């Protein structure tokens, strides 16, 4: 690495120097691992994901061009609901994934999300909700999801909803940009 990389840290560099811990949660099979791999590897290099085992989690490093710092995505198995709290400490952002092609589970998912938003280790953190597998007209729409969230949840100051159409790299990239934006705005040293 050249000498230019060894300059003294400025305030701006300090702001972006620490890696971020992002928790990725949601019911089993909603596409969490698929999305996290899509962010870390890109859709064209995707591997086939298998349902994350009940006792397992993955951690993937995703580089964040805007923040210039890595985000560590903690992809926790949807079957670990009773034990997932042990992974919460130190989390700086939350991604919650729903399967938009199964709107029948939306209220269950919102209830689950509600318990996360009320957890003392997650309260107030920036939240990105992903409606994965957007496709047919029978799908849950992001607008409907937003209005249900406003009605049923005590939302943190920074939150957003993104739809991800089936296997769309463009939508995955947009969602990652949105997450970066939320994390940037939540930084304690964020520019006013
Ligand atoms: N058709 C379709 N399949 C998907 C999508 N996202 C994930 N999958 C598949 O659904 C299955 C479960 O996804 P996975 O990411 O393992 O779910 P997780 O349990 O939430 O981590 C895998 O076979 C994925 O390839 C999607 O947007 N559309
Ligand atoms: Mg998984």
Mutation pick for ligand 1 pocket among 23, 26, 49 (CB with most ligand atoms within 8 Å) = 49
Q: How far is the CA of 46 from the centre of ligand 1 (A)?
A: 12
Q: What is the pTM of this model?
A: 0.87
Token pair in block for residue 115: 């318990």
- Nearest bound ligand to CA 37? 1
What's the rounded mean pLDDT across residues 42-59?
A: 68
* 140 against 178, higher pLDDT: 178
Q: Which two tokens stand for residue 21?
A: 């811990």
Asked if 54 and 77 touch (Cβ cutoff 8 Å), the reply is yes
Mutate to test the pocket of ligand 1, among 31, 109, 172 (most ligand atoms within 8 A of CB): 31
**Residues lining ligand 1, Cβ inside 6 A:** 26, 28-34, 49, 51-52, 78, 132-133, 166-167
- Per-residue pLDDT tens for 31-40? 999 999 999 9
Ligand nearest to the CA of 58: 2
C-alpha distance across the termini of the chain, in Å:
34
Dihedral sign, Cα of residue 1, residue 180, residue 61, residue 121: positive
pLDDT of residue 134: 87
Tally of CB atoms within 10 A around 39:
24
Q: Report the SS3 class of residue 147.
A: helix
Helices and strands: H and E segment counts in the chain? 5, 6
Annotated binding site: 26-33, 52, 78
Tokens 């209830």 label which residue? Answer: 111
pLDDT score at 9? 37
For tokens 């003294």, the residue is 8
* Residue 79 φ/ψ, nearest 5 degrees: -90, 0
Strand duo 69-76 + 57-64: pairing = antiparallel
């Amino acid at each position: 690495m050249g000498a230019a990389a060894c300059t003294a840290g400025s305030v701006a560099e300090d702001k972006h120097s620490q890696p971020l811990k992002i928790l990725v949660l949601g019911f089993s099979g909603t596409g969490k691992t698929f999305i996290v791999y899509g962010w870390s590897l890109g859709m064209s290099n995707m591997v086939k994901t298998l349902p994350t085992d009940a006792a397992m989690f993955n951690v993937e490093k995703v580089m964040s061009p805007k923040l210039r710092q890595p985000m560590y995505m903690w992809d926790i198995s949807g079957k670990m609901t009773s034990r997932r709290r042990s992974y919460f400490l130190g989390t700086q952002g939350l991604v919650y994934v729903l399967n938009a092609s199964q709107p029948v589970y939306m209220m269950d998912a919102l209830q689950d999300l509600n318990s996360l938003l009320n957890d003392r280790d997650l309260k107030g953190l920036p939240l990105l909700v992903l409606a994965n597998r957007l496709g047919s007209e029978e799908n849950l729409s992001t607008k409907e999801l937003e209005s249900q969230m406003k009605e049923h949840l005590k939302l943190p100051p920074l939150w957003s909803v993104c739809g991800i159409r089936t296997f769309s790299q463009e939508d995955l990239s947009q969602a990652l940009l949105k997450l970066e934006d939320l994390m940037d705005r939540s930084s304690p040293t964020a520019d006013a």
